[in-house]
Amino acid sequence: MSNQHGDPGHGDSPAAWTAVIVMLLGIAAGAVFFFLHMPAGVLVCAGVVVVGLLLGLILSKAGFGIRGPKFSPKTHDSGA
């Protein structure tokens, strides 16, 4: 669906990708530590998730977000 303001980009920026990858790694490692009954590891991984969120915000403010000056959107080819 398109909207009247154009495509918001769906978070396809270096800031968003970095934040998501760091948070996914933190969640995955946290799940392993939870399974191994290591609460200290779970807490550290929860901190990694928060760091991922902050990293995404910092990169976005630094211009690597969807509307930042350092972001160059990729065009999507229809293949025809």
Closest alpha carbon to 10 in 72, 66, 58: 66
Per-residue pLDDT of the chain (80 residues; tens, 9 = 90+): 455 555 555 668 888 999 999 999 999 999 999 999 999 999 999 999 999 999 999 999 998 887 777 777 666 666 55
pTM (two decimals): 0.76
In this structure, is the dihedral angle defined by the CA atoms of residues 32, 34, 37 and 40, taken in order, positive or negative? positive
Write down the domain spans for the chain. 14-64
